[in-house]
Chains A and B, each alone.
Chain A
Amino acid sequence: MNSRSLARRIAIYGGALLLAFFWFAPFVLVIIGSTIPETNLTSFPPNWFEDPPNLQTFDYIFTGKIPETYEQRGALRSMISSEVRDVPRAILNSFVVATAVMFINLIFGSLAAYAYARLQFPGRRFAFTFVLMSRLIPTVAIAVPYYLIVQSLDLINSFWALIMIYSVLTLPFTTLVLTLYFRSIPIEIDEAAQLEGASPWRILNDIGIPLALPSIIGAGLFAFMLSYSEFLFGLFITTTRERRTLPVVLGSLSANTDVSWNMLMAGIVIGTIPTLFLAIPVWRFMVRGLTSGAIKG
């Protein structure tokens, strides 16, 4: 019995270590990589640590001061990697777009969800199903028409186009989750307010929203995160460097075969930090919302 439980502990810790290595090693490598001078990084046989690691890549991204090792290779090199300097602005761009999408989700989403959950109106069932089903169309299938629509509205390279598209892509999910949540609130509370003569608007504002606030905020953050991460639409709607979102800047750098990788990695490190702060609240909401509300175990 004892040796069996020992074997069990070994298996558990072995598995946990393996998982931790699989999940975290790439991050550690990126952080290390961002501090190693490019000549060492590309050397063969590899000797990454021959020269001391430094933070010159980060310095370059924020101040434009060209790292020492680059000077040996001339101005061309620094020109090629200057796109990395777009990262801070790209974070800001992504932030602006995602914040707008979040607010649209908060307002439109909770209004619609409350109505689907509580009010009787013609076409309710159809509208609800339609909104949910709209997300079953693969995004790549509507990419071309979206592009043509945006083009005809003269909104290419505009944040408005991204905000509209991301709202359409996130609203169905927000609506679903919030509808399920509103349904889980005891209806007696609504009925009592109704007897007092409160209108649906008042009930939503005074009772529904305060009760559902954690879920509403969670859904909003989730919409934020999806918008912050979206790549496909960002790629073809933004056409100038000033407007590119974070995934687009980093993604197009990776397509550049002559990119300086320690720079790129510094860009990744900076770009990942906002995600870190969002991950935990969004995750909590996701796990709670999807495991308790929608799906019976």
Chain B
Amino acid sequence: MSNQQQGSRAGIRRGLSNPALAGLLMVMPALVLVAIFTIWPVARAIYQSTRIESPIFPPQYVGFQNYRDVWGSFYFRDAAENSLLFAAVTVPALVVLGVMVALLLNESFVGNTALRIGMLLPWALPAAVSGLIWKWVFLDSWGALNAGLYSLGIIDTYIDWLTDTDLARLAVVIVFVWAQLPLAAVFLLASLQSVPEELYSAAAVDGASAFGRFRTVTFPGIRPMLVVVALFELLMAITNFDIVYALSQGGPGTATTLLTYFTWAESFRKLDFGRGSALAIIIALASLVLILILVRAMPKGALVEEEA
């Protein structure tokens, strides 16, 4: 009896150490958690998007009506335009500034380390808090920027940073760049430092100017990382929600209402989950297409081949 038990226990142990079974068991907890919270929500969102579900109307199947409503709505177009404009300004700005900051940090100067460590802070801060800090800087009525410029005698009347359409947009861009630039710069710096020194000396021997060296040596060396940074920042720009919420609440009017903020407002302010889901699916598809286009456009070998 006890012998048999021992035998089966040993059998179980042998079974568990079978690599295939062990592998399955090891990935299971994470896989199940992620799968449940991916497949179910996506299926649910698709289902939801074909129905009217709001506190006011009885639930009802409406087919593609929500999609048509969203697509045809002025506010959707407006938010999509805002998002495109936002990404079109911030992504190139982050790439260009990122390279400049990386080149700067690659030089030796007093305070270099302090700057490198200090710039962790804007990056590590919750984005909602970043928006909040800057809200006080930009506040129309008695923000720090207005108070400072007034005290220095640069302006006579306070500037409406957050209630003027263009200035409010600029403010959101500045805060986003402030928070994202450290990461962009550090990745580019790391890639900069991996460019072999010999290439620079060779270029110098050839009599290349500083700009020439950048164009022929530095740029090709960091190009893969440039693509990665651009992709990553594009995703961050598309999904930016916290900063808008804390800084401008999408205003004035709809000037800073990006797609994510719009989706949130549609779902949780208006409690129109049907339309909110349709909107969410449109955004998910759009960003998927964007990612695919960019991955296609990436130079070959930009990322190491996954050999999974």
Given known contacts A108-B33, A140-B241, A271-B129, is B24 in contact with A121 (CB within 8 Å)? yes
Contact of A149 among B40, B104, B126, B246 (CB under 8 A): B40
**Segment of A50-58, A59-67, A70-78, A261-269 engaged in the interface with chain B:** A261-269
Instruction: Verify if A210 is at the interface (C-beta below 8 Å from B).
Output: no
Nearest chain A CB to B277's CB is how many angstroms away?
5
Q: Is the pair A295, B224 in contact by a Cβ cutoff of 8 Å?
A: yes
Given known contacts A20-B111, A48-B147, A165-B37, is B280 in contact with A144 (CB within 8 Å)? yes
Instruction: Verify if B101 is at the interface (C-beta below 8 Å from A).
Output: yes
Chain A 260-286 per-residue mask, 1 if CB under 8 angstroms from chain B, else 0: 010011001001100110111011001
Chain A 113-127 per-residue mask, 1 if CB under 8 angstroms from chain B, else 0: 011100111101101
Q: Is the pair B186, A287 in contact by a Cβ cutoff of 8 Å?
A: yes
Q: Is the pair B19, A145 in contact by a Cβ cutoff of 8 Å?
A: no
The total of Cβ contacts below 8 Å across the A-B interface reads 307
Contact of B135 among A44, A149, A254 (CB under 8 A): A254
CB contact list, B232-246 vs A, under 8 A: 238-239, 241-242, 245-246
Given known contacts A290-B187, A291-B187, A295-B304, is B19 in contact with A138 (CB within 8 Å)? no
Nearest chain A CB to B114's CB is how many angstroms away?
8
A148, B303: Cα distance in complex, Å: 38
Nearest chain A CB to B111's CB is how many angstroms away?
6
| Chain A residues within 8 Å of B34, by CB | 130-131, 134, 168, 171-172
Instruction: Verify if A155 is at the interface (C-beta below 8 Å from B).
Output: no
Instruction: Verify if B60 is at the interface (C-beta below 8 Å from A).
Output: no
Contact of A200 among B23, B260, B263, B264 (CB under 8 A): B23
Nearest chain A CB to B145's CB is how many angstroms away?
9
Given known contacts A111-B29, A122-B20, A129-B308, is B42 in contact with A23 (CB within 8 Å)? no
Given known contacts A19-B101, A279-B124, is B129 in contact with A141 (CB within 8 Å)? no
Q: Is the pair A119, B283 in contact by a Cβ cutoff of 8 Å?
A: no
Nearest chain B CB to A184's CB is how many angstroms away?
11
Q: Is the pair A121, B20 in contact by a Cβ cutoff of 8 Å?
A: yes
Contact of A121 among B23, B128, B276 (CB under 8 A): B23
Nearest chain B CB to A270's CB is how many angstroms away?
11
| Chain A residues within 8 Å of B293, by CB | none
| Chain B residues within 8 Å of A140, by CB | 239, 241, 259-260, 263-264, 280, 283
Chain A contact surface mostly: helix
Instruction: Verify if A69 is at the interface (C-beta below 8 Å from B).
Output: no
Nearest chain A CB to B102's CB is how many angstroms away?
12
Q: Is the pair A13, B109 in contact by a Cβ cutoff of 8 Å?
A: yes
| Chain B residues within 8 Å of A115, by CB | 22-24, 26-27
| Chain B residues within 8 Å of A148, by CB | 44, 48, 273
A230, B125: Cα distance in complex, Å: 10
A16, B108: Cα distance in complex, Å: 11
| Chain B residues within 8 Å of A214, by CB | none
B258 to chain A: closest residue by CB: A140
Given known contacts A114-B26, A247-B242, A254-B246, is B304 in contact with A296 (CB within 8 Å)? yes
Interface set of B (CB-CB < 8 Å, partner A): 13, 16-17, 19-24, 26-27, 29-31, 33-35, 37-38, 40-42, 44-45, 48, 100-101, 104, 107, 109, 111-112, 115, 117-129, 131-137, 139, 141-142, 144, 147, 150-151, 158, 178, 182-183, 186-187, 190-191, 194-195, 221-222, 224-225, 228, 238-239, 241-242, 245-247, 249, 259-260, 263-264, 267-268, 273, 276-277, 280-281, 283-284, 287-288, 291, 301, 303-304, 308
Interface set of A (CB-CB < 8 Å, partner B): 9, 12-13, 15-16, 19-20, 22-24, 26-27, 29-30, 33, 41-46, 48, 107-109, 111-112, 114-116, 119-122, 124-125, 127-131, 134, 136-149, 164-165, 167-168, 171-172, 175, 179, 199-202, 204, 225, 228-232, 235-236, 246-248, 250-251, 253-255, 261, 264-265, 268, 271-272, 275-276, 278-280, 282-283, 286-287, 290-291, 294-297
